[in-house]
Amino acid sequence: MGKWDHRNEGKRISQSLLQEKSTEDLRNSQRFIKGLLHLRKSQKLAKTYIEGTKKAIAYNGVPKVFVDYRFDGTATGRLSCAAYSAKKAMGVSFHTLPRDKDNNIRSLFTCPENHRFITVDYAAMELRVLAHIAKDGNMQTAFTQGADLHTYTAQMLFSKEEISKDERQIAKAISFLIAYGGGAFNLAETTGITVGKAKKIISNYQNVYPAIFEYMEFVEKFIKQNQYAYTIFGRRRNLPDIASKDYTVVNRAARQGLNFTIQSTASDILLCGLLGAHRRLREEGISAKPVATVHDSIELICHKDDTERCLEIVYDELVNYPFIKKHFNINFDVPLKIDAEVGFSFGDGVEVDFQDGKPQNLKEIQAYMND
């Protein structure tokens, strides 16, 4: 008996079933599947987040949820977050709260009266890190000129100025896949294009950003020789699996090493910015404090009268990174950029416009929030 081709056989069965269905049957099936997925999503939100939060509040005796941040919870150095109470884990982890406009579970977490919730998020942080450590001139130029990297990349890949939404999405997908060791099959699966077309696009991508691929080769060679990877901050991850005789295990270790050099560096940039901002907020007596970090973002609660100064300090520490310059003597080859929002809760902020590090539209935001 020959090997069963699950992909082609599954496709054949699906096509056979579809041919037997009328148009109305297919529409009803689509509505049913859509409704079922929505139901399961709602059940997940209710059980995991709403019920978990209610239990934590009842257990703690105050309308608050406490979380436990750990420096040793991830291999890359990112902070891990676990639900926490005084005696046992309970509640929710901020890291897993979904971003969903239809079911905005994040908006349940609000700030005290006369305070504001500030969210500051690095823009394209990991790709900026990659551009710096790989020393790729084209990618650095895109960031330095303030271009949208994915549009810029698509223009280079497809050799034209006017880029469609799908072409930009392909450029975005390939940038992240390549950064983390993905290949043509991954790109095809993610974007719906053929493997052959994916291979051609990756070849074009290598021509656009050759230093990225040179850096990837350097990292893999270094790991194979030394069995560890390191970052510009001196953080190190041991990777003994690179010496395995199993090709799959070796490839995984190589991807982990490349991932580590990028993600860990991005994490340390965020943490250093957080340290610098927290120190200056205390020194200036600003009524603001960080309450969470989620991937490449910092969440703070600030008194409404200190909002402007809080934003200025956070902008300076994250974009101009004086803490990193002082303690690590590092200057990045690409500018760092942040997006910021101010609101009453974790999930409903209004975007802040910065000019030369100063928030420009706070009066409009305050007026909007007072309505």
Give the model's pLDDT for residue 93. 64
Instruction: For residue 184, give the DSSP letter.
Output: H
Beta bridge partners of 176: none
CA-based nearest residue to 129, from 119, 143, 150:
143
User: Tokens representing 70?
Assistant: 């750990």
Q: How many domains does the chain have?
A: 3
pLDDT tens sequence for the chain (371 residues): 455 555 565 556 556 555 555 556 656 667 777 777 777 877 777 777 777 777 777 777 777 777 777 777 677 777 776 655 445 545 566 666 766 666 677 777 788 888 999 999 999 999 999 999 999 999 999 999 999 999 999 999 988 899 999 889 989 988 988 888 788 888 888 888 888 888 998 999 999 999 999 999 999 999 999 999 999 999 999 999 999 999 889 989 999 999 999 999 999 999 999 999 999 999 999 988 888 887 788 889 999 999 999 999 999 999 999 999 999 999 999 999 999 999 888 777 889 999 999 998 888 887 777 76
Instruction: Answer yes or no: do 273 and 258 share one domain.
Output: no
Residue 77 is part of which domain span?
22-96
Domain membership of residue 50 (yes or no) is: yes
Domain membership of residue 85 (yes or no) is: yes
Give the domain-ending residue among 216, 238, 267: 267
Q: Are 259 and 266 in contact (CB under 8 A)?
A: no
Give the model's pLDDT for residue 233. 93
- State the Cα–Cα distance between residues 111 and 118, nearest whole angstrom: 10
Instruction: Answer yes or no: do 277 and 366 share one domain.
Output: yes
CATH code for the domain in which residue 169 is found:
1.10.150.20
- State the Cα–Cα distance between residues 351 and 231, nearest whole angstrom: 32
To which H or E segment does residue 224 belong? helix 210-226
Q: Label residue 241 exposed, middle or buried (CB < 10 Å: 0-12, 13-18, 19+).
A: middle
Give the model's pLDDT for residue 86. 47
Instruction: For residue 95, give the DSSP letter.
Output: G
Instruction: Answer yes or no: do 250 and 167 share one domain.
Output: yes
Q: Are 229 and 260 in contact (CB under 8 A)?
A: yes
- State the Cα–Cα distance between residues 310 and 322, nearest whole angstrom: 16
Q: Are 52 and 83 in contact (CB under 8 A)?
A: yes
User: pTM of the prediction?
Assistant: 0.82
Instruction: Answer yes or no: do 79 and 170 share one domain.
Output: no
- State the Cα–Cα distance between residues 67 and 79, nearest whole angstrom: 12
Residue 294 has phi, psi (to 5 degrees) of -130, 100
Q: How far is CA 196 from the centre of its chain?
A: 29
CATH code for the domain in which residue 357 is found:
3.30.70.370
- State the Cα–Cα distance between residues 179 and 176, nearest whole angstrom: 5
Give the domain-ending residue among 210, 234, 267: 267
Domain membership of residue 299 (yes or no) is: yes
Domain membership of residue 313 (yes or no) is: yes
User: Tokens representing 64?
Assistant: 């608050």
